[in-house]
Amino acid sequence: MKIISASRVNERLTAGETLNIIDVRETAEVRSGRIPRSIHLPLGLLEFRMNELDKKKEYIVVCQSGGRSSQAVKFLDYQGFNVTNMDGGMLAWEGKVD
């Protein structure tokens, strides 16, 4: 499984890179803030909504601490998607939030 640090994601966003970030937390968790321009796709709906994703794109998956996002990465990787887990999740995030 590919892993990226929260600080590296923040560096890439700050440098102006456009990243495809999937937030797999529940709706109530996302209300407290999420990474700007991230896609909210709760883990429980991933199987049913993965058709909204593009297998040609690279995705970074985030949750609260890294556990659910690692499950999502394993599932999406098995389905043929290019996915990376953001280590430490939102607990490790020090960048801007919406």
Q: Give CA–CA dist 30/22, Å, rounded.
A: 11
Give residue 59's pLDDT. Answer: 98
Residue 73 maps to a domain: yes
Phi and psi at 79, nearest 5°, equal: -85, 0
Burial class (CB in 10 A: 0-12, 13-18, 19+), 96: exposed
Residue 70 maps to a domain: yes
The pLDDT profile of the chain, 98 residues, written as one tens digit per residue, is 999 999 999 999 999 999 999 999 999 999 999 999 999 999 999 999 999 999 999 999 999 999 999 999 999 999 999 999 999 999 999 999 99
CATH of residue 70's domain is: 3.40.250.10
Q: Is 27 helix (H, G, I), strand (E, B) or coil?
A: helix
Residue 36 maps to a domain: yes
Q: Which domain holds residue 52?
A: 2-91
Give residue 61's pLDDT. Answer: 98
Q: Among residues 61, 63, 86, 90, which one is catalytic?
A: 63
> ∠93-95-98 over CA atoms, to 5°?
100
Q: Which two tokens stand for residue 85?
A: 């887990």
The verdict on whether 54 is a catalytic residue reads no
